[in-house]
Amino acid sequence: MDLKNLLNKEQYEAVTTVEGPLLILAGAGSGKTRVLTYRIAHMIKDLNIYPSKILAITFTNKAAGEMKDRIRKLVGDEVDSMWVSTFHSSCVRILRREIDKLGYNRNFAIYDSYDQKVLIKQCMKELNMDDSITDKEIINRISRQKDNLISQDRFKKENEGNFRMNKIADVYVMYQKKLKENNALDFDDLIFKTVQLFKEHPDVLEFYQRKFKYIMVDEYQDTNKSQYEFIRLLAQVEKNICVVGDDDQCIYAWRGADVENILNFENDYINSKVIKLEQNYRSKANILKAANDVISNNFHRKQKVLKTANDSGDKIKLYRATTDIDEGRYIASRIKEILNIDKDKHYRDFAVLYRKNVQSRIFEDVFMKSNIPYRIIGGLKFYDRKEIKDILAYLKFINNPLDNVSLRRIINVPKRNIGEATIQKIQSFADSMDESIYNALLDIDKSMNLTQRSINSIKKFVSLINSFIKSRDKISVSELIKEILNTTGYLEELKHSKEPDSISRIENLKELVSAAVEFEVTSEDTSLSAFLEKVTLVSDIDNFDNNADSVVLMTVHSAKGLEFPVVFMVGMENGIFPGIQSLDNPKEMEESRRLCYVGITRAKENVYMTFADTRRVFGKMVSYKQSDFIDEISDELKEYDNFRKSDINNFVNRSLSKNIFSYGKKGILNNIPPKRESLSVDNIPQGNYLKPENIKEGIKVKHKKFGVGTIVSISKKDEDIKLTIVFDNMGIKNLMYGVVPLEAV
């Protein structure tokens, strides 16, 4: 390969440096994926290194798939014998082969966040935990311990003198015990257990150290302690480790990422080489200058400056809105105008980036009224929908009959006269015999004080499951899904349902079958275990379709790794971006500034930053100051957007004709929405609506948009009431009581 003509000077040096530790500091848009793929191709084609000796780690399945496709174009099918995968997928692959050494069966289940929450709640109930400690706090605390390689026993010992932490430690201990009884691991266990395996079984570690003589890690700045240790152990013999990353894009501290891992690389690996990729091929010069202005205010970073041969382009456009509704209308009208002027632009060229998912609602409302197609990245995921999780629970249990969480979900779905009281009796019997629930079902004729009707229903269920288990290895996954849908009566029940979403739920199940067929066509391992791994480890961004012609709504966190011609960064106010917690905490402020840097550098041609005089937050009108990050951009790089009155009036006449408009400061066209009385606790409409005194955990309610759900948590502060509701078809939502009326069901 003629690498010198394909790469710039720094890229060439990074590609041809193969032996020893190497840190590639790759700025945004500097071609890091190109460097990684050509580096691997160079190792295979020019240096004759066996592909099976190379391990390439990424953070998303999407990135792994794209990298593998690009390597294939350079070296052909030889890429199939090397590992290009995420941390979690690599660890699953190792554990499927070795986990019996830790006392698990190799067909272990992987619990997603829903399964994890069910099991945590079960532990809390058995330990008689009070409401002062929430399941969310416990899950986050346990996750952080696993990220930091702190076992349940160590956590318990370290917190014996702390009442609150000791209670959480009790849950952690019981949770791990139940996971093992269910032959299951959660996401954090996948890496935690692999590191444990390496440390407790040196022969296993030595095998993989010999296997992977060359290790590459993408997005190294996002690694946590367990990921760092996994890589350190594998690389400690050969030390042929190449990490690629950008400390300026470390934005996941809230989930354990430690920027120190990349900042201290040279201390961890003596005689390491550092190469900086600062040439940006994505963005216009003014965008990069603005990004450099912002990030230069961080002190804890490696010094580098993005540069480009691209022209200056437009300045950063600022828009001061009257309200958050005005902010949404401005962006909709701006998109329409740009599309009218530039016929080469499409809806997919625009992205609206916000700090938190809750900010999407206004843009959804305005875009719907304006006939602007949009898609949300980070909303309800396909595999989180009730009907999909039901069928996946069947598959998980068929694959692993020790999985009590999946069993409890499906035992009465569709309804087969096995109620909660019956399930609880079976659970108690299983616990007394120290066996799984399914084993207890097999002994259902033993005395459990069950009615004959319940016993008959359970026997039918057991017979059904046994038939699926027998079919598991004889038919494909897609055929097994069809068999479950038809034999259980699940599909038939939906066809006769009068619920308005039944048709869409049937369509979703058809899509699940299609996903299974696609998996069978594209995967080497077409087993049920492999399919469950694929769907369990999938992330939001893995399903991002670059060609879908719709405006993208997403958080800045979700946008990392993507690029768009036009980017709108919204809610640019102190208190939102940066968040309130960042304003008095220098470390968190630096993380927020890195997040802003990531947002700006997603744009290729134009960046718009919007902020509002007032906006509704948790049902109350608030007013925040313009973001400090806007102030950090040099004056010559930014300007207020002087939107033409005729353009916005044409937009209003088409879509929002009842609104009133006036001019605000600096010649900005500000929208003054019609005054609307907000819904408060004191003015809930008459009828079958939920009253404050009737709010209780466990009751059913109906939301006009999300449908029927169950209140699972209540949090009160002053006069505000925050409800956590699990909706049947829309997942978990946190809502402020009084913002939208809830009907009592």
Residues marked active site are found at 32-33, 218-219, 249, 602
608, 567 in Cβ contact below 8 A? yes
- Through-space distance between the first and last CA atoms of the chain, rounded to whole angstroms: 68
Sign of CA pseudo-dihedral 324, 325, 326, 328: positive
User: Is the CB of residue 328 less than 8 Å from the CB of residue 619?
Assistant: no
SS3 606: strand
Q: How far apart are CA 662 and CA 660, in angstroms?
A: 7
Long-range contacts of 445-454 (CB under 8 A, 24+ apart): 449/425, 450/422, 450/425, 453/417, 454/417, 454/418, 454/419, 454/422
Let me know: does 16 contact 198? Beta carbons within 8 Å.
no
Determine whether the annotation assigns residue 378 to a binding site. no
Let me know: does 557 contact 253? Beta carbons within 8 Å: no
Comparing C-alpha atoms, which of 164, 155, 102 is closest to residue 129? 164
Sign of the CA dihedral running 102, 103, 106, 112: negative
- Provide the total of helices (H) and of strands (E) in the chain, helices listed first: 31, 23
Helices 502-522 and 477-487 pack at an angle, to 10 degrees, of: 160
Which residue's entry shows tokens 């390439």?
A: 56
Task: Please state whether beta strands 350-354 and 551-555 pair in parallel, antiparallel, or not at all (unpaired).
Answer: parallel
Distance CA 379, CA 540 (A): 9
Q: Are 348 and 546 in contact (CB under 8 A)?
A: yes
The tokens for 691 are 């009253």
Taking the mean position of all CA atoms in its chain, how far away is CA 691?
35
Cα separation, 379 vs 552, whole angstroms = 12
Q: What is the DSSP letter of 259?
A: T
The residues with which 84 forms a beta bridge, in sequence order, are 56
Q: Which amino acid is at 528?
A: L
31 is in an annotated binding site: yes
- Type of residue numbered 570: V
The conformation of residue 658, written as its DSSP 8-state character, comes to T
Instruction: Flag whether 27 is marked binding.
Output: yes
Scan for tokens 């004889």, then name that residue: 474
What does residue 54 show for φ and ψ, rounded to 5 degrees? -110, 130
- Residue 28 labeled ligand binder: yes
* 430 among annotated binding-site residues: no
Q: Give the pair of three-digit tokens for residue 545.
A: 């379709």
**Please, what is the angle between helix 528-536 and helix 386-399, to 10°?**
140
Tokens encoding 260: 């120190």
Rounded CA separation 243/215 (Å)? 8
Amino acid code (one letter) for 336 = K
Q: How far apart are CA 124 and CA 136, in angstroms?
A: 12
DSSP 265-313: HHHHSTT-EEEEE-B-SSS-HHHHHHHHHHHTT-SSS-----B-SS---
Burial call 473-488: b when 16+ CB within 10 Å, e when fewer: eeebbbebbbebbeeb
DSSP 713: E
CA dist 480 and 528 (Å) reads 9
- Determine if residue 76 is labeled as part of a ligand binding site: no
Is 471 labeled as ligand-binding?
Answer: no
Q: Which residues pair with 733 in a beta bridge?
A: 725
Do 287 and 178 form a contact (C-beta atoms < 8 A)?
no
Contact 197, 99 (CB under 8 A): yes
Between CA 125 and CA 133, with CA 131 as vertex, the angle to 5 degrees is: 90
Which residues are CB-neighbours of 359 under 8 A, at least 6 positions away? Answer: 324, 570, 571, 576
* Numbered residues of the known binding site: 26-33
* Numbered residues of the known binding site for ATP: 26-33
